[in-house]
Amino acid sequence: MLNPSRIKAITLDLDDTLWPIWPTIARAETALTNWLADRAPATVGLLAQPEVKRQIRADTEAQFAHLAHDLGVIRREAIRLALQRAGDDPALAEPAFEVFFDARHQVDLFADALPALEALSARYPLVALTNGNADIGRVGLARYFKGALSARDFGVGKPDPRIFHAAAALVGTAAEDTLHVGDDAHLDGVGGLGAGMQFVWVNRAGHDWAHASCQPHLTVADLQTLVDRLV
């Protein structure tokens, strides 16, 4: 059961907690395809084949396994590999990735996200904690956060307890005095609980909790329910 009296800070996941990620990625991929259409049409044709696209991603992940925590590197190098295999100019990978990355930050927040950020940030220091590559400044949410930590910057991602401890340390709190909030039962839940934090599972889709060895301190269908418990 959640113990609000122990909470001195909150670490907060981004993708699928504050906004839905897959519609965002789909729009970013469309922007990338449109940009490549006149510059690298053979690459567009190659990536239009789902099996080929999956293989390029798998080959990139294998080549850059040591950078698996940096999704930006994986995305950029997958674009580069596609360009190479299609016979287009691999130097286009850098500007192409910037087109994708810019569109990746054009997110549609869940309706409860901004009111929750306003309420929670007025009471607790918030730290963005993500395995993704979203930048809270580019998204326009930096004013609500005292800090941000990504797997890309830290070198390992959730569920490794070290990244949770480092996120809490950004605002000077111990893990046991920190609440982690996120949507992923394994990355956020098992990770946060294993790091010694309280954990609130944002379960918008009504999934079953699949980890018998631990349980969230609270499960909510939206962030407003969390605000109602804390503020």
Handedness of CA 111, 220, 8, 12 (dihedral sign): negative
CATH class name, domain 4-19+109-230 = alpha beta
Query: H helices of 64-130, where?
Result: 71-86, 93-104, 113-121
Please tell me the pTM assigned to this model.
0.94
pLDDT in tens, the chain (231 residues): 999 999 999 999 999 999 999 999 999 999 999 999 999 999 999 999 999 999 999 999 999 999 999 999 999 999 999 999 999 999 999 999 999 999 999 999 999 999 999 999 999 999 999 999 999 999 999 999 999 999 999 999 999 999 999 999 999 999 999 999 999 999 999 999 999 999 999 999 999 999 999 999 999 999 999 999 998
E strand or H helix at 31 = helix 21-37
Domain topology for 22-104: Four Helix Bundle (Hemerythrin (Met), subunit A) (1.20.120)
The token pair at 231 is 């503020």
Q: Which amino acid is at 4?
A: P
**CB 198, CB 191: distance < 8 Å:** no
Please say whether the beta carbons of 180 and 129 come within 8 A: yes
List the chain domain ranges.
4-19+109-230, 22-104
Give the DSSP H/E element, type plus range, for residue 158.
none
Tell me: the pLDDT tens digits for 111-144?
A: 999 999 999 999 999 999 999 999 999 999 999 9
- Asked whether the domain spanning 22-104 has the same topology as the one spanning 4-19+109-230, the reply is no
Structural contact between residues 207 and 183, judged by C-beta atoms closer than 8 angstroms: no
pLDDT in tens, 163-183: 999 999 999 999 999 999 999
